[in-house]
DNA sequence: AGCCAGGGTCTGC
DNA sequence: GCAGACCATGGC
């Protein structure tokens, strides 16, 4: 990959395994919208970004080198060797096929609190409505960072609110879970950053102390927010898919990259509805 | 109208 | 450990 500064933009040439639609609209993050074909905008780490792909070049508009190297290079997981991972997973024929369906998905390195909060909201819910609730959360309680764009509100901010305040989200029974998570994070009872370098099981055990956080939400937080690439969140699609495709047991070649395999399988299962 | 959605808690065996 | 009721809301 070549990184080129051009006017006020940053251009990525010769990227491998990076497709915007696959990455931004695969159900791992909920704040990206497509403006037109291959042109997206969203907010992460308190920054607004417009990013597009054209003629094999991915352009981050109005982006400084400082923001690119401090935020976006990490956010888009640009230093990970996806082609190599895809080769490893391809030792299994089914995973190879799933990897082809999901070509270009990268695991975003989101802010831990945003990932935790988003996946609490995701439970027993569908993706369009998750996006709506997250957007209302940001509009009402985040900071305005540009015209019509808001940061994801901090745990401290949410912890200062009441259930009545959160009613505007229309998040249903999840509001009390959001509040408990915010209080445990804001008080320091749970320090999310410390979970980053813990063994997976130890980190998960911490997260499930939060009311309304079970194994699946914990694993999503660890995979999408805390760089645990071997976490394997088991949602309804994954349970159905692993049963049908692998007799319930994930192939051994996926052990080290279970989280990436999970995204591939999730995407593959939804695209095919497991009818093939 | 009833079912389902990137689940979790609580109760009862 | 495992099954089943229940939980809010909205789209189909």
Q: Which of residues 230-269 of A touch strand B (CB under 7 A)?
A: 233, 235-238, 262-263, 266
Residue A258: inside a domain: no
Does A135 share its domain with A177?
yes
Range of weakest confidence among A168-172, A256-260, A270-274 = A270-274
- Mean pLDDT of all residues in A204-225: 98
- Which CATH number does the domain housing residue A24 bear? 3.30.310.260
Q: What would the pLDDT profile of A104-118 be if each residue is shown by its tens digit?
A: 999 999 999 999 999
- Mean pLDDT of all residues in A178-182: 98
Q: What would the pLDDT profile of A156-166 be if each residue is shown by its tens digit?
A: 999 999 999 99
User: Under a CB-based contact definition with an 8 Å cutoff, are residues A233 and A216 in contact?
Assistant: yes
Does A124 share its domain with A67?
no
Does A131 share its domain with A206?
yes
pLDDT of residue A18: 98
Q: Does residue A276 surpass a pLDDT of 80?
A: no
Positions of strand B less than 7 angstroms from a protein CB: 4-9
User: Distance, angstroms, CA A173 to C1' B11?
Assistant: 19
Q: What would the pLDDT profile of A6-31 be if each residue is shown by its tens digit?
A: 999 999 999 999 999 999 999 999 99
Does A134 share its domain with A73?
no
Q: Out of A210, A226, A242, pick the residue that ends a domain.
A: A226
Does A64 share its domain with A118?
no
Q: What percent of chain A has pLDDT over 70?
A: 100
Residue A257: inside a domain: no
Give the ranges where A2-47 is alpha helix by DSSP (H).
20-24
Q: Does residue A226 surpass a pLDDT of 80?
A: yes
Q: Does residue A123 surpass a pLDDT of 90?
A: yes
Does A74 share its domain with A157?
no
pLDDT of residue A275: 85
User: Distance, angstroms, CA A95 to C1' B12?
Assistant: 41
CA–CA distance, A248 with A56 (Å, rounded to integer): 38
Does A165 share its domain with A65?
no
Q: Does residue A274 surpass a pLDDT of 90?
A: no
Residue A275: inside a domain: no
- Mean pLDDT of all residues in A119-148: 98
Structure tokens of A113? 């609190």
3 state SS of A110? coil
Q: Out of A56, A79, A102, pick the residue that ends a domain.
A: A79
Does A45 share its domain with A150?
no
Q: What would the pLDDT profile of A37-48 be if each residue is shown by its tens digit?
A: 999 999 999 999
Q: State the average pLDDT for chain A.
A: 97
Residue A51: inside a domain: yes
Specify the number of domains making up chain A. 2
pLDDT of residue A128: 97
- Going from the C-alpha of A171 to that of each of A132, A159, A161, A238, the distances in angstroms are 9, 16, 15, 24
Measured at the alpha carbon of residue A20, what is the angle toward residues A124 and A222, in degrees to the nearest 5?
Answer: 45
pLDDT of residue A44: 98
Instruction: Report if pTM > 0.75.
Output: yes
Q: What would the pLDDT profile of A136-174 be if each residue is shown by its tens digit?
A: 999 999 999 999 999 999 999 999 999 999 999 999 999
Positions of strand C less than 7 angstroms from a protein CB: 7-11
Does A153 share its domain with A213?
yes
- Mean pLDDT of all residues in A214-227: 98
Q: Out of A199, A226, A253, pick the residue that ends a domain.
A: A226
Q: Does residue A236 surpass a pLDDT of 80?
A: yes
Residue A178: inside a domain: yes
Residue among A100, A137, A86, A99 nearest A116 (CA): A137
3 state SS of A51? strand
Does A39 share its domain with A117?
no
Its domain, for residue A39, covers: 2-79
Does A66 share its domain with A133?
no
C-alpha A154: how far from chain center: 17
């Amino acid at each position: 990959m070549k990184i080129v500064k051009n006017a006020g933009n940053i251009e990525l040439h010769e990227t491998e395994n990076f497709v915007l639609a696959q990455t931004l609209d695969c159900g791992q993050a909920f704040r990206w919208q497509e403006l037109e074909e291959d042109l997206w905008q969203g907010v992460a780490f308190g920054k607004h970004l417009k990013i597009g792909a054209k003629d094999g070049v991915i352009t981050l508009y109005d982006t400084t080198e400082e923001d690119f190297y401090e935020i976006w290079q990490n956010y888009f997981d640009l230093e990970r060797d996806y082609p190599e991972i895809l080769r490893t997973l391809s030792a299994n024929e089914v995973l190879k096929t799933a990897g082809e369906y999901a070509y270009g998905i990268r695991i975003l390195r989101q802010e831990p609190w945003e990932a935790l909060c988003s996946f609490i909201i995701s439970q027993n819910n569908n993706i369009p409505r998750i996006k709506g609730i997250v957007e209302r959360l940001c509009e009402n309680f985040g900071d305005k960072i540009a015209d019509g764009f808001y940061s994801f509100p901090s745990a401290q901010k949410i912890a200062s609110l009441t259930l009545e305040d959160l009613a505007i989200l229309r998040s249903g029974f999840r509001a009390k879970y959001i509040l408990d998570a915010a209080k445990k994070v804001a008080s320091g009872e749970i320090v999310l950053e410390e979970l980053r370098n813990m063994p997976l099981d130890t980190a998960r055990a911490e997260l499930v102390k939060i009311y309304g956080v079970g194994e699946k939400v914990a694993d999503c937080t660890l995979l999408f927010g805390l760089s645990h690439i071997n976490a394997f969140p088991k949602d309804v699609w994954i349970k159905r898919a692993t049963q049908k495709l692998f007799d319930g047991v994930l192939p051994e070649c996926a052990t080290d990259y279970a989280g990436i395999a999970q995204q591939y399988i999730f995407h593959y299962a939804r695209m095919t509805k497991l009818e093939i």
